[in-house]
Chain A
Amino acid sequence: MKRTGIFVCHCGINIAGTVDVKKVAKELSKHKGVVHAEDYVYVCSDPGQNIIINAIKEKKLDSVVVACCSPTLHETTFRNTSKSAGLNAFQCEIANIREQCSWVHKDMEKATDKAIRITKSTVQRVRRNESLEPISVPVTRKAMVIGGGIAGIQSALDLANTGFEVILVERAPSIGGHMIQLSETFPTLDCSQCILTPKMVEVSKHPKIKLMTYSEVQDISGYVGNFKVKILKKPTYVDPDKCTLCDECTKVCPVVVPNEFDLGLTGRRAIYIPFPQAIPATFTLDIKSCPGLLPIACGKCADVCEPDAIDYDMKPEIVEEEVGAIIVATGYDLYEKELLTEYGYGKYPDVLDGLQFERLLSASGPTMGKILRPSDHKVPKEVVFIQCAGSRDPELHCAYCSKICCMYTAKHAMLYKHHVHDGQAYVFYIDIRSGGKDYEEFVQRAVENDGVLYLRGKVSKIFEDNGKIKVWGVDTLTGKDIEIDADMVVLATATRPSKGADELAKKLKIAMDKDGFLAEAHPKLRPVESVTSGMFLAGAAQAPKDIPEAVAQASGAAAKAISILSQDRLYHAPTVAKVNINLCTGCGMCVQVCPYDALSLKDGKAEVNEVLCEGCGTCSATCLRAAIQVKNMTPLQVNEMIKASLGG
């Protein structure tokens, strides 16, 4: 029989206000195996912890139950306290009588009865707890960053500059993400390319960074500190070492397809370089648009390529790597055109989305920075900007706020006025959300200095009429109907998780939230960690965010990754599955259900790989003979807990 000590916390009046803590201690002192029971006002305080330490020593306790707040808060505290008094940390368990009892009930008698049951059930559990030591595993001191936008670039550079090797994987032919498409950035109006390209160059030149563009993560296995990844390197059919960027190939390529970089405002050839400053600086042959690699099909590009850089025989390659930590920075995409038909988006050429407008504003864009209508190349004199196109619309579109649109719309309207002095900009908005350093001042500048007209209300209808785009709406502040004959309409379309992020999340086994953004481990306290240990989140993949926030999170994620990579060994919870060889019949059912491939059959019996096992217990619920059990949560323990919960 064990010698268990009980410590009931008052938590001020948080617990003691509804639970008769003295009675809990008294009842528990009568419980079998309990040799010490006391209550204290704050057990987590220093004197409170000393009470535990002294009791362990004086009463020779071999197990401890603290009846207090949720184990997510102080389990570690009290396990460390117990350890400092010479107990094994796993001989301490928490009975949650605050979140799951005192805070949700009002009737003292009933709440006290429930608290007693919860505590007794925890005592029953701890009575059969084994002493365990954390499982130690070595660490591979290398990281992988997925996504080469500003967030991924920042994480990769931070890691590399700390001295760790980094593999940066990007599925597009160049890094740079959406930021490289932008013209100028709010609220300073820095030229986006000018501030990003130095970082891109640094990535390409960094001895610690292995850049893999046109590549995708195919498969991943392993666990924190020791992931094994398979990366698919798609063939570009151009040898970057030989390519001299002479651009002869695009002159002869007969195919024109919409240019992704300009969001379809221009065309590109099947062989192309995404933009002049692309990193890596090389051409890519897009096999999907190419008429065919055989010389009879076309083969023109290879004919004119003097350095002989084009290699039609290039094959997809699978690269295997081992890394200790992973940062996911897959970014965002704009809401699909097909889903947002009410504004004529995708139907009228002069209804643009925010990124297309960025390209029109950009000095390196299709119009060399002149704002011209795509339909007739005339300068638009009346431009309507519509915010929340697809955001904050739970009935039809996305319920959430896309966060960056208020600010970039103000920037768009302001820059439009800088280009077209006699033009008029209108902004339809629901609210203006300009929280951020110098953001509110920026919006005010657009209104006051640039005469942007803000109209609070929604647009009801948009249609083409005589070369104009008629915009009907209501100004809800004045109650007046509004009709504008616009030359151009720019939609601040909702930001969505980037396409394919969901498949990647499944491969990585990280969770997504209801909107498909990657879920952080805790919304307040663990904002850069995913629920899977060793995997971190950066940038707009986790939620819509602007550049400074993405960069801050990227550096945070890098720091978190470094805290893993800088250790010699990692420790893993020892509450893993264990096989009773005498009961196991080798049926293999547990092997099939294990989500982590931690089980295998060896000599006709199940065997646990303790390093892979996460202790979920799916195996134990599947085993017909209870031959496989999770340590410290065995069926016998659960059974005793049930008994104590219902007893009396």
Chain B
Amino acid sequence: MAEEFEPKIVAFLCKWCSSAGSDLAGVSRMEYPSNVIPITVMCSGSVSPLYIFSAFNKGADGVLVSGCHPGDCHYIKGNFYARRRIALVKKLLEYVGLEPQRFQMSWVSAAEGIKYTQVIKDFVQELKPLGPQKKLRRIQ
């Protein structure tokens, strides 16, 4: 049997909520797949569309942006900008033919270790049947 496809995922986590939530998942010793490489940014609002394109371009099979719940951003309204920006990016990616499941956004607070674990598990599950992402990957 061929080895199961393991998607590579880049997750942009805001420092104050989602990265802290993922730390909590660790402190509580929850287990989730190791497919995700986290990159902690100050706020989900600082995630430029370029980062997302860049990740797909460099071979990511999935990209996650995770921030504080709407209204709870440490910088007051960064995640509102993120939400709008990401909705646009999502449309654009779908327009060029990328499977919509490959790009996701979630709200994970510092207290939601369980939720972070679930988000990652679900994401990996959804990506597996899709196989490698080739659409935006740079040809080597």
Since A71-B40, A113-B34, A595-B77 are in contact, a sample of 9 more A-B pairs with Cβ atoms closer than 8 Å, ordered by chain A residue number, is A98-B26, A103-B26, A105-B31, A106-B31, A616-B42, A616-B75, A639-B51, A642-B54, A646-B58
Question: B75 touching A618 by the CB < 8 A rule?
Answer: yes
Contact of A111 among B34, B55, B82 (CB under 8 A): B34
> Is B23's beta carbon under 8 Å from chain A?
yes
Name which of A114-122, A216-224, A255-263, A467-475 contacts chain B. A114-122
Question: B23 touching A616 by the CB < 8 A rule?
Answer: no
Question: B16 touching A531 by the CB < 8 A rule?
Answer: yes
Q: Considering the chains assembled together, what is the distance between the CA atoms of A638 and B30 in angstroms?
A: 28
- Number of cross-chain contacts by CB at 8 Å: 132
Q: Considering the chains assembled together, what is the distance between the CA atoms of A117 and B72 in angstroms?
A: 30
Contacts of A99 in B (CB 8 A): 22-27
> Is A544's beta carbon under 8 Å from chain B?
no
Interface flags, B46-58, vs A, CB<8A=1, else 0 = 1111110011001
How many Å from the CB of A178 to the closest CB on chain B? 28
Question: B78 touching A616 by the CB < 8 A rule?
Answer: yes
Interface flags, A599-637, vs B, CB<8A=1, else 0 = 000000000000000111110111000100010010100
> Is B76's beta carbon under 8 Å from chain A?
yes
Name A's B-contacting residues (CB within 8 A). 70-72, 96, 98-101, 103-107, 110-111, 113-114, 117-118, 121, 509, 511, 531, 593, 595-596, 614-618, 620-622, 626, 630, 633, 635, 638-639, 641-643, 645-647
Question: A646 touching B55 by the CB < 8 A rule?
Answer: yes
> Is B81's beta carbon under 8 Å from chain A?
yes
Question: A616 touching B43 by the CB < 8 A rule?
Answer: yes
> Is B20's beta carbon under 8 Å from chain A?
yes
Query: Could you name 24 residue pairs across A and B whose Cβ atoms are closer than 8 Å?
Result: A70-B26, A96-B40, A99-B26, A99-B27, A100-B19, A100-B26, A101-B26, A104-B29, A105-B31, A107-B34, A111-B34, A113-B34, A114-B34, A121-B39, A509-B76, A511-B72, A511-B74, A595-B76, A616-B74, A616-B75, A618-B46, A621-B45, A635-B50, A646-B59
How many Å from the CB of B28 to the closest CB on chain A? 9
Contacts of A620 in B (CB 8 A): 46, 48
Question: A117 touching B37 by the CB < 8 A rule?
Answer: yes
- Chain B interface, >50% SS class: mixed
Contacts of B117 in A (CB 8 A): 104
Question: B43 touching A645 by the CB < 8 A rule?
Answer: no
Contact of A70 among B23, B39, B48, B54 (CB under 8 A): B23
A70-B23, A618-B46, A642-B10 given; A100·B38 CB < 8 A: yes
> Is B85's beta carbon under 8 Å from chain A?
yes
Question: A638 touching B39 by the CB < 8 A rule?
Answer: yes
Question: B43 touching A618 by the CB < 8 A rule?
Answer: yes
Q: Considering the chains assembled together, what is the distance between the CA atoms of A626 and B78 in angstroms?
A: 17
A96-B23, A99-B23 given; A617·B45 CB < 8 A: yes
> Is B8's beta carbon under 8 Å from chain A?
yes
Q: Sorted from nearest, which 3 A-B pairs have the closest CB atoms?
A: A617-B46, A99-B26, A616-B75
> Is B124's beta carbon under 8 Å from chain A?
no
Q: Considering the chains assembled together, what is the distance between the CA atoms of A622 and B60 in angstroms?
A: 23
- Name the residue of chain B whose CB is nearest to the CB of A115: B34
> Is B64's beta carbon under 8 Å from chain A?
no
Contacts of A622 in B (CB 8 A): 81
Question: A642 touching B75 by the CB < 8 A rule?
Answer: no
A117-B37, A646-B10 given; A633·B23 CB < 8 A: no
Q: Considering the chains assembled together, what is the distance between the CA atoms of A413 and B102 in angstroms?
A: 61
Q: Considering the chains assembled together, what is the distance between the CA atoms of A619 and B74 in angstroms?
A: 15
Contact of B42 among A104, A106, A111, A615 (CB under 8 A): A615
Question: A646 touching B37 by the CB < 8 A rule?
Answer: yes
> Is B41's beta carbon under 8 Å from chain A?
yes
Q: Considering the chains assembled together, what is the distance between the CA atoms of A111 and B35 in angstroms?
A: 9
- Name the residue of chain A whose CB is nearest to the CB of B31: A104
Question: B20 touching A72 by the CB < 8 A rule?
Answer: yes
Q: Considering the chains assembled together, what is the distance between the CA atoms of A70 and B19 in angstroms?
A: 9
Contacts of A633 in B (CB 8 A): 41-42, 46
Contacts of A639 in B (CB 8 A): 50-51, 54
Contacts of B38 in A (CB 8 A): 96, 100, 118
Question: B23 touching A118 by the CB < 8 A rule?
Answer: no
Q: Considering the chains assembled together, what is the distance between the CA atoms of A639 and B50 in angstroms?
A: 9
- Name the residue of chain A whose CB is nearest to the CB of B43: A616
